[in-house]
Amino acid sequence: MNRVRAAAPQLAGLVPYDPKYLPAEAYLSANENPRDVDAEVRAVIAKRIAEVPLNRYPDPLANRLRDMIAEANGLDRACVLVGNGGDELLFDLALAWGGPGRSFLNLPPTFSVYEANARLTNTRCVNVPRREDFSIDEEAVLARVAAGDIDFVIVTSPNNPTGLRAPVAFIEQLLAATDALVLVDEAYFEFSRETVRPLLEANENLVILRTFSKAFSLAGVRLGYILANPAVIEEFLKVRQPYSVDALSQVVGEVVFEMRARFEPGIREIIEERARVAEALRTLPGVTVYPSDSNWVLLSLEGADEAWQYLYDRGILVRDFSRAPMLEGCLRATVGTPEQNDAFVGTLRAFIIERNGMRAQAARLEEGR
């Protein structure tokens, strides 16, 4: 036998996740922190890593880091679970609350990983699309959960890639309206300065997802966590890979979490730069800028795919959503360092001037014929 039978049917037509991470000078495509951890944090990490026994399995639950996160959030250890990036925990969610005959409520356009996880686990994905301005259609969501067949919902706040927070009052209403598990994805809450953490005690059906990948410069390390009620954490424990968080990542996470105050000036700068970039982009003719509570700016313009190529040819990598459903003509630019942001805005301006110049020239030629 030299042939292989087909893979599981739910994989048919599924495309592997592609971050479209190409070599560039300015990486403004993946919402990473433009600054790496500083030299002092790195030195402490190096020292601590040198002491890690590599021949032993790691603590399956990363309990030291877990306790630090619990304490910082005023919670018990039993309310925290650390994962191999937020992505692992999102998959665990689909394993634990999804499956054949189960339903997931999605609010597109949003993070594409949610829907992919639903497909992989044979979970039905029910979409309640956002409005034209990307705000949540709150009445439609509340009406849909009232049908009683939804098993879990993901509300991203701020929403990737559109940028704005979900209103806390709405999340509160949603939690009260359903017994479905509601995961609030707070991957970017450090940039919005808003969390639904205060709703945890009163709502057994709330899970909050956070990550070290964005504000804390650790996208390369793979650490995320959830905050939830112990009964919910128990279900996640049943489906998770026991050793998903390796010993080195645990130590890196402990050091960075301990020293997290040092990241605060960088976060503040990103928030300030976000306003500066948005304002500069708004002066460009034909560019629509969507308001953002996060570390990127979503914009739309005619010829977005050409603009993406023009930027990329000049060393600036942004995320092209121009052909994504509901995001036609959109680009997402992560807020980088002030220099990177200037280069991005300046290059986009040059693209628009060149293109408009060529159009004017073409029109003149047309007239003169």
Ligand X SMILES: *Cc1c(COP(=O)(O)O)cnc(C)c1O
Applying CB under 6 A, among 224, 253, 266, 336 the residue interacting with ligand X is 224
Binding flag, residue 324, ligand X (CB under 6 A) = no
Binding flag, residue 295, ligand X (CB under 6 A) = no
Binding flag, residue 33, ligand X (CB under 6 A) = no
Q: What minimum distance in Å lies between the beta carbon of 335 and ligand X?
A: 14
- φ/ψ of 193, rounded to 5, equals 60, 30
Binding flag, residue 246, ligand X (CB under 6 A) = no
Q: Where are the alpha helices (DSSP H) in 39-188?
A: 39-50, 63-72, 85-97, 112-120, 138-146, 168-177
Applying CB under 6 A, among 103, 117, 123, 156 the residue interacting with ligand X is 156
Question: Contact at 8 Å (CB) between 85 and 113?
Answer: no
Residue 273 tokens, joined: 């730069």
Binders of ligand X in range 52-91 (CB under 6 A): 85-87
Binding flag, residue 158, ligand X (CB under 6 A) = no
Binding flag, residue 213, ligand X (CB under 6 A) = yes
Residue 1 tokens, joined: 């036998």
Q: What minimum distance in Å lies between the beta carbon of 192 and ligand X?
A: 12
Q: What minimum distance in Å lies between the beta carbon of 84 and ligand X?
A: 8
Question: Contact at 8 Å (CB) between 181 and 97?
Answer: yes
Q: Give the three-class secondary structure for 26.
A: strand
54: exposed, middle or buried (Cβ count in 10 Å: 0-12, 13-18, 19+): exposed
Residue from 63, 60, 92 nearest 77 by CA: 63
Binding flag, residue 211, ligand X (CB under 6 A) = yes
Binding part of the chain for ligand X, among 212-220, 247-255, 315-323, 352-360 by CB under 6 A, reads 212-220
Applying CB under 6 A, among 92, 115, 151, 185 the residue interacting with ligand X is 185
Angle at the Cα of 188 from the Cα atoms of 114 and 124, rounded to 5 degrees? 10
Q: What does the binding site for ligand X look like in residue numbers (CB under 6 A)? A: 31, 85-87, 111, 156, 160, 185, 187, 211, 213-214, 219, 224
